[in-house]
Amino acid sequence: MGASLFAVHPFNVEAVSWIASRNQVVSTFFLLVSLTLYWTRTTGKRDIVALLLSAAFFGLALLSRPSAVAGAALFPLIDILQRRFSMRSIFEKALFALPSIAILIVTLNSRSRVEEVPIPEIFEMNLIGRLLTAFRSLVFYVSRALYPRDLRAYYDYLSFRIDGIDIFICLGLIAVLMIAFRSSETKIRRVVAFGILLFPIMLLTTIKIVPFGEYSIVHDRYAYTSVAGFCIFIGFVATIKNLSKYLKSAFYAAAGLVVAIFSYKTYFQTKTWDGSENLWRNVIAFEESAVPLNNLGIIFLKQGDLLKARPLFERAIAVRPRFSLAYFNLGEIMAEQGDLKSALDYYQTAVHLRPTYHEAYNNLGNIYSKDPSRLEIAKNNFHKSIENGADYPEPFYNIAAILAMQGKYDDALGAALKVTWKYPTFMRSYILVGDMHLKHGDRARARENYEKVVLSGTELSHLAQTRIDALK
């Protein structure tokens, strides 16, 4: 029963349909295998092989998705429910705690270097505010797990609310839990308690008790593992022996009806994931939210449809005036249309709102570089882009190009050569290296670099061939 509900639950559509979230599915599989091995070991013979296998599968869950680190709390929970207390059981937890700590350190270190789009309001909250937000998020997840309604790809933190239906569902769950605990035997009671507690524990890394750089605190995919806990609870409620035959028949009939309804809703929920444009239009149909408006605008921007893209970015800013990404994208449009003054204003606003916005610094440098009197300002912006984590060739190359424009050919050659070493597939740097060799009168080395570009078969091959022909 529980497995059937999990298989067709509409809440799980995002984790399965969105390719980038498949790690959630894989991580959940490994975690459930690990928990099953550990649980069966505590109820029978304490087999060291089962313990090591459980730890190995938990390690695989961590490697699949670092948020599985919250699962480390489930193993001592099993010991508590099984009333298994000993020094040995405490030492055994090191097999789960140590890799969790290691993954947590590595993840936090790597995430600190990744530019994300934070919700400033989350970072400005005090502890009480974050706890209230976490509680609101948890109620939302519980309600949608039991009654999946108004599901979509994105829920805006600033606008999503819990309503009377959410409160009613949570109170109903509490009543069902009380009946289940009073009517069931000890073994079933422990499993039911584990399934219920698994739900909030696996959400600890996402509900923002500790602020972390994501721009959303609610996503359907975040609840994928937690929904498994509810399904465990429902599956084992069906095994309670003290229920009358009529109650059991009613329970199975209701569960069968729920499976049918969930299957129907899941089928139509998958339709919303049929293409990015359809996905974000579906979200916007529910609410005028900044992130989906911006994402839909990006789709049109990539298609070159600036007339459709621009009003979407402007609507995103109207909804969330501090949304730096929308200002950046408007700067892209203005630059594309040749309105450099407006583009400059939008990029400056973006870096003001997010001082570590390396893409915006790079684009600012590109605009300043068009004015010979502002080359030094342009170079400073390229340096800021690199200082704030830019790990792509453009700002490095742009610094070399500015040095060449300033007549510092030796420095430009050295900077361009560094780009070819760091990013060997970035062909523009080879053309610049060739040009600098020509400035030094070294035609052979210039030709050698131009030929590399010709052989690459990129769109710059024709330009490089023109340079070679000029050498003849």
Do 94 and 227 sit in the same domain of this protein?
Answer: yes
Do 270 and 332 sit in the same domain of this protein?
Answer: no
Global pTM? 0.79
pLDDT of residue 131: 80
Do 138 and 270 sit in the same domain of this protein?
Answer: yes
Of 364, 382, 417, which residue constitutes the final position of a domain?
Answer: 364
* Non-local CB neighbours of 28 within 8 Å, separated by 6+ positions: 61, 224, 225, 228
Of 255, 274, 293, which residue constitutes the final position of a domain?
Answer: 274
CA 452 to CA 457: how far, in whole Å?
9
Do 223 and 77 sit in the same domain of this protein?
Answer: yes
Of the chain, the percentage scoring pLDDT greater than 90 comes to 39
Name the one residue in this structure whose structure tokens are 């349909």: 17
pLDDT of residue 154: 82
* Non-local CB neighbours of 273 within 8 Å, separated by 6+ positions: 13, 14, 17, 18, 153, 279
Q: Is residue 383 part of a domain?
A: no
pLDDT of residue 219: 80
349: CATH: 1.25.40.10
Q: Is residue 206 part of a domain?
A: yes
Which residue type is seen at 293?
Answer: L
* Non-local CB neighbours of 436 within 8 Å, separated by 6+ positions: 404, 409, 412, 413, 416
Do 192 and 329 sit in the same domain of this protein?
Answer: no
Do 111 and 26 sit in the same domain of this protein?
Answer: yes
Q: Is residue 374 part of a domain?
A: no
Q: Is residue 385 part of a domain?
A: no
Do 303 and 408 sit in the same domain of this protein?
Answer: no
* Non-local CB neighbours of 291 within 8 Å, separated by 6+ positions: 117, 154, 156, 215, 216, 316, 323
Q: Is residue 386 part of a domain?
A: no
Q: Is residue 38 part of a domain?
A: yes
Full domain range(s) for residue 396: 392-472
Do 89 and 38 sit in the same domain of this protein?
Answer: yes
Q: Is 442 left (phi over 0), alpha (psi -120 to 50) or beta?
A: beta
pLDDT of residue 243: 61
pLDDT of residue 436: 95
Which residue type is seen at 445?
Answer: R
- Give the mean pLDDT per block of 10 residues along the chain (472 residues): 84 84 89 89 70 92 89 87 75 87 79 51 69 84 87 77 87 79 68 82 76 61 84 69 69 83 89 86 88 94 94 94 93 94 96 92 95 94 93 95 94 95 95 94 93 92 92 77
Do 320 and 185 sit in the same domain of this protein?
Answer: no
Do 270 and 298 sit in the same domain of this protein?
Answer: no
pLDDT of residue 443: 92
CA–chain centroid gap for 290, Å, is 17
CA 416 to CA 434: how far, in whole Å?
10
Which residue type is seen at 276?
Answer: S
pLDDT of residue 120: 55
Q: Is residue 285 part of a domain?
A: yes
pLDDT of residue 213: 46
CA 182 to CA 60: how far, in whole Å?
37
Do 100 and 7 sit in the same domain of this protein?
Answer: yes
CA 341 to CA 334: how far, in whole Å?
8
Q: Is residue 380 part of a domain?
A: no
pLDDT of residue 371: 92
Do 352 and 309 sit in the same domain of this protein?
Answer: yes
Q: Which of 25, 12, 95 is nearest to 61 (CA)?
A: 25
Of 227, 249, 274, which residue constitutes the final position of a domain?
Answer: 274
* Number of separate domains in the chain: 3
Per-residue burial over 219-254, b if 16 or more Cβ lie within 10 Å, else e, is bbbbbbbbbbbbbbbbbbbeebeebeeeeeeebeee
